[in-house]
Amino acid sequence: MQPERRDPRSRPPGRGRAARLSGRRASACLPGLSLLALSACAGPQSTLTDAGTESAAVAWLFWIMLAGAVVIWLLVMGLSVYATKINPAAHSEKTGLRLIAWGGVVFPTVVLAVLIVWGLEKMPEFRGEGEGPKIAVSGERFWWRVAYGVEGEPGVVKSLPAGGVESANELWLPVGRRTEILLGSPDVIHSFWVPSIAGKTDTIPGRVNRIVLEPTREGVYNGVCAEFCGEAHAQMAFRVIVVPPAEYEAYVARQAQGAAVPQGPGFDAFMKNGCNACHSVRGTPAAGQIGPDLTHVGSRKTIGAGTLPLSAQNLSQFIAVTEHVKQGVEMPSYSMLPASEIDAMAQWLEGLK
């Protein structure tokens, strides 16, 4: 007997119905998945958060281009369905040439010209002078030096002008004011970028670049280095804290004060082990200029340029095994010190607020 042959076009009972049900379920899930995807576009490091005048313009341009892309996609799909399903007959060469000329030449040229003109008109507005405070920011491997209330131009070596109130890895801005940021670097090219507020600008050794930030919404936003600069590039982050102008002025005034705890066992261990050779703590003999200023390190949100949340335990870990916490960092580890000394330094640093 010959085995029974089954028509390959046939399918087991119920399989077609199951496939249709699966397709319906997938279609029903599409709106939810779309909303989930759009929710991922928001956050403290998203260009679409619209926390600044420049980022708002970029986000508006994105939505316009997205809408245009959807329209173009629908047109292309519609033409494909028309040519293959509705009217599959051969079309004249004249019709094809018209489609290429208008759809492939005229339409893209007009759209790109409009976008270019719109973008060029916005650039002077974004790069205009700032009437708010002037802040200098130096990108250094692998952290950010910040100085408030500066005058003059950043130098080539230190990349910061004389004077000003120095801090590190946190940038406070007054909401609603155009703040001018002077950007420099003493080592390699970095790139200063706060996606939620404005576009990125490179920090180049021997050169001063400017960017004007005009935040429109209070909050805490993430900034990053957007130019590969070495082993710890991915751990070269900073925080931008946007507050009312009066709170900004009060913050700068507090930063100008000396250390909150200028003495103690932790300070003695700090000086004895040579930490003052690299770090400065105003109000004490520590006046190093190589590493971040630690005068008010206890008031910052993170340590190691965004590597760890600030706490005494994380400070102890960072001091003891620095290269394990942040590979490529230029600060040496102090694992050879007694744990009691490391903990004393960490507790003292946490108290510098």
**Residue 203, by phi and psi: left (phi above 0), alpha (psi -120 to 50) or beta?**
beta
Report which of 94, 254, 104, 234 is spatially closest to residue 165, judged by C-alpha positions.
254
pLDDT band at 221 (very low <50, low <70, confident <90, very high): very high
Question: Do residues 231 and 270 share a domain?
Answer: no
Q: Give the per-residue pLDDT at 155.
A: 47
Any domain includes 99: no
Residue 134 lies in a domain: yes
Give, rounded to a whole angstrom, the gap between the first and last alpha carbons of the chain: 92
Top-confidence residue, 304 or 13: 304
Distance CA(124)–CA(181), nearest Å, equals 16
231 and 271 together in one domain = no
Residues 282 and 247 in one domain: no
What confidence score (pLDDT) does residue 43 get? 76
Q: Tell me, what's the pLDDT at 253?
A: 92
* CATH number where 187 lies: 2.60.40.420
In a domain, 82, yes or no: yes
Q: What integer is the mean pLDDT of 59-83? A: 87
Q: What stretches of 160-272 adopt beta strand conformation (E)?
A: 165-168, 170-174, 179-184, 190-193, 201-203, 209-213, 219-225, 237-243
Residue 156 has pLDDT above 50, yes or no: no
Q: Measured between alpha carbons, how far is residue 284 from residues 24, 32, 260, 341, 347 in Å? A: 70, 58, 10, 19, 17
Same-domain status, 237 and 171: yes
Is 110 contained in some domain?
no
Which residue, among 328, 333, 168, 319, has the nearest Cα to 235 in the 3D structure? 328
- Taking CA atoms, 87 is separated from 6, 79, 92, 95, 98, in Å, by 35, 10, 13, 14, 18
pTM of the entire structure?
0.78
Q: Among 185, 217, 252, which residue terminates a domain? A: 252
Domain interval for residue 155: 44-89+127-252
Q: Please report the pLDDT score of residue 191 as a whole number.
A: 96
| Same-domain pairing of 204 and 279 | no
Boundary (domain end) residue, out of 192, 218, 252: 252
The total domain count for the chain is 2
145 lies in the same domain as 278? no
Residue 138 pLDDT greater than 60, yes or no? yes
Q: Which of 252, 275, 299 is the last residue of a domain?
A: 252
